[in-house]
Amino acid sequence: MDHMASAREVADRAAHRLHDWDAPTPCSDWDARELLNHLTAEQLWVPHLLAGETVEQVGDRYDDDVLGDDPVATWERANAAAAEAWAGVPDDRVVHLSFGDTPAAEYRWQMTMDLAVHGWDMATAAGADAGIPDELATAVLDHIADDVENWRGTIFADAVDVPSGASPQDRLVALTGRDPGWKPPTRA
């Protein structure tokens, strides 16, 4: 399984389900538009970083709203450009991230996790099941298990308890601080 391609599909399906751009999401810091903007901006960074640019060279060009008048079309273009940039990138290529130089293989896992989890956030905000494949959720869980506690309070909230027989998708989102049972609030 190409885990990144699978995660990209989860996020893409979710982006197409969003219609209420002000809708709250399980990622409490962002509404639906802000969340898609975050995910799109991250994809816009990918070609630059994989080409060897530093965070300083990319600068602040993606700090504001990157979605414009057609959020889904902008997402599609950014998603496609990132996928193209990843083609043929060796695992040992050095990528200059904000916290230091990192092998491309690790950056790929970070982006895979982000696409899968934020895809879940967006699908859930739209009232749909994200459908993170079990194999993808399990692979991401296995990859982040040793590091996730280091990210608490910065990129993840506290883990949410789930039953021992919870699905891999539910375990993944719970580990990243999301309630797998979250439902969009009823809005008048």
* pTM, 2 dp: 0.93
Average pLDDT over residues 20-42: 94
Bridge partners, 94 (sequence order): 103
Average pLDDT over residues 61-87: 97
Q: Is the pLDDT of residue 154 over 70?
A: no
User: And the tokens for 177?
Assistant: 């601080």
Average pLDDT over residues 115-120: 95
- Backbone torsion region of residue 177, taken as left when φ is above 0, otherwise alpha when ψ lies between -120 and 50, otherwise beta: left
Percent with pLDDT over 70 in the chain: 96
On the CB side of 119, how many CA atoms lie within 13 Å of its CA?
A: 29
Give the pLDDT of residue 151.
64
Q: Is the pLDDT of residue 167 over 80?
A: yes
pLDDT digits (tens, 9 = 90+) for 90-107: 999 999 999 899 999 999
On the CB side of 17, how many CA atoms lie within 13 Å of its CA?
A: 20
Give the pLDDT of residue 140.
94
